[in-house]
Amino acid sequence: MDMVDLPRAALIDALGRRISYLRISVTDRCDLRCRYCMAERMTFLPRDQLLTLEEIALLADLFIARGVRKIRLTGGEPLVRRDIIDLVRRIGRHVGEGLDELTLTTNGTRLADHADALFDAGVRRINVSLDSLNPDRFAHITRRGNIQPVMDGLAAARAAGLAVKINMVALKGVNEDEILPMLRWCGDQGFDLTLIETMPLGETGEDRTDHYLPLTEVAKQLRKHVELTPIAHRTGGPSRYHAVEGMAARLGLITPLSNNFCADCNRMRMTCEGKIFMCLGHDDHVDLKSAFRTGGVAAVEPLIDRALRLKPARHDFRIGAGAPPAAVQRHMSVTGG
């Protein structure tokens, strides 16, 4: 029997939080340059520094053996990685046999080409980042994007049987006037919507303070038009959901700045070069790649245990007077959204 098949110790951090959710960034590259996420000119990792897809799959096996029940593949943009569907199939074989769910976050630009294959490989639900329905505004936010391939991808996802949740970063002075129309559009399309506060990760060339929009204020404004009722629905992440009167769509709120949600954090993140970050808002990490390549699973397990001991109580995201431009220097695309 392979060592990964043997019973393992559960992933429990020093504060007693059980880690059941692993987010895996398969690449730091992206075909867009969203203003809140990346700089216009990015330097990406050399491809030879990335974990191979087989290495990612083997490390995923280990985390599943230790109690991870949900894996999300992220980037950058995961669908730009060559042969990504091979990895989805490899991890997807665990769904129903140790893994409750395999999901994916994408910008949707290549979704039309992959929606059927994702469903066939075991994915049943995806998140699609979409911050505007206006083509010109979409191009402004993404610095280069064409919205039509995203719309084609969403249509393909629905046709393939994938449940879709739209992720929209709420940006003051940029797209705040589109939040209610986006919610209504999602209701018409049969999509859920999650709103996200902008987070100070990496220098992007933009002033996040100018665009920070507290979701407490957004919810207050939405309630002037629709009734929002908190519900117990969870998808494993930090989003807190509300039923929306008259709509099938659920509204999720992710509030790292206005309402810290770290007390029940159940997540770790693995980057495309094999670094485990215990928190999106901290630089502390452990590097699995060299240990895995020289000593296999046996060499990696103590590093995972070290990561559990180092996992902080909470992040320290701040925006405003006296706060640094970025809580950490790495961009969101490095760690995975």
Mean pLDDT for 229-246 is: 86
What per-residue confidence (pLDDT) applies to 78? 98
Is 280 a residue whose pLDDT tops 80?
A: no
- Which H, E and C letters describe the chain, residue by residue? CCHHHCCCCCCECCCCCECCEEEEECCCCCCCCCCCCCCCCCCCCCHHHCCCHHHHHHHHHHHHHCCCCEEEEECCCHHHCCCHHHHHHHHHCCECCCECEEEEEECCCCHHHHHHHHHHCCCCEEEEECCCCCHHHHHHHHCCCCHHHHHHHHHHHHHHCCEEEEEEEEECCCCHHHHHHHHHHHHHHCCEEEEEECCCECCCCCCHHHHECCHHHHHHHHCCCCCEEECCCCCCCCCEEEEECCCCCEEEEECCCCCCCHHHCCEEEECCCCEEECCCCCCCEEECHHHHHHHHHHHHHHHHHHHHHHCCCCCCCCCCCCCCCCCECCCHHHHCC
Counting beta carbons within 10 angstroms of the beta carbon of residue 246, is it exposed (0 to 12), middle (13 to 18) or buried (19 or more)? Answer: exposed
Highest mean pLDDT (candidates 37-41, 184-188, 325-329): 184-188
- Rounded to the nearest 10 degrees, what angle do helices 179-189 and 215-222 cross at? 70
What per-residue confidence (pLDDT) applies to 3? 47
Strands 240-244 and 228-230: antiparallel
Quick check: pTM over 0.95? no
Dihedral, 278, 279, 284, 287 alpha carbons, nearest 10: 40
Count of Cβ atoms closer than 10 Å to residue 158 Cβ? 15
Angle at 65 between CA 62 and CA 70, to 5 degrees: 90
- Binding site, by residue number, is 23, 30, 34, 36-37, 72, 76, 105, 129, 165, 199, 262, 265, 267-269, 279
What per-residue confidence (pLDDT) applies to 333? 54
Angle at 26 between CA 328 and CA 271, to 5 degrees: 35
Dihedral, 174, 171, 81, 78 alpha carbons, nearest 10: -140
- Tens of pLDDT, residue by residue over 132-162, are 999 999 999 999 889 999 999 999 999 999 9
What per-residue confidence (pLDDT) applies to 327? 47
Is 82 a residue whose pLDDT tops 90?
A: yes
- The percent of residues in the chain predicted with pLDDT above 70, rounded, is 83
| 97-101, 262-266, 325-329, range with the lowest pLDDT | 325-329
What per-residue confidence (pLDDT) applies to 255? 81
What per-residue confidence (pLDDT) applies to 5? 56
- Tens of pLDDT, residue by residue over 180-203, are 999 999 999 999 999 998 866 545
- What Rg do the C-alpha atoms of the chain give, in angstroms? 19
Is 1 a residue whose pLDDT tops 50?
A: no
What per-residue confidence (pLDDT) applies to 6? 47
Count of Cβ atoms closer than 10 Å to residue 227 Cβ? 11
**pLDDT band at 262; cut points 50, 70, 90:** low
- Tens of pLDDT, residue by residue over 89-126, are 999 999 999 999 999 999 999 999 999 999 999 999 99
Residue that wins the pLDDT comparison between 129 and 240: 129
Which amino acid type is present at position 315?
H
Spell out the domains of the chain, with CATH numbers in brackets: 3-335 (3.20.20.70)
- Binding site for S-adenosyl-L-methionine, by residue number, is 36, 76, 129, 199
What per-residue confidence (pLDDT) applies to 259? 56
Is 225 a residue whose pLDDT tops 70?
A: yes
Highest mean pLDDT (candidates 51-55, 229-233, 305-309, 322-326): 51-55
**pLDDT band at 325; cut points 50, 70, 90:** very low
**pLDDT band at 49; cut points 50, 70, 90:** very high
Residue that wins the pLDDT comparison between 222 and 266: 222
The rounded mean pLDDT for the chain is 87
- Binding site for [4Fe-4S] cluster, by residue number, is 30, 34, 37, 262, 265, 279
* Structure tokens belonging to residue 162: 């994938």
- Binding site for GTP, by residue number, is 23, 72, 105, 165, 267-269
Is 253 a residue whose pLDDT tops 70?
A: yes
- Cα distances (angstroms) measured from residue 317 to each of 51, 67, 144, 167, 325: 29, 29, 28, 20, 10
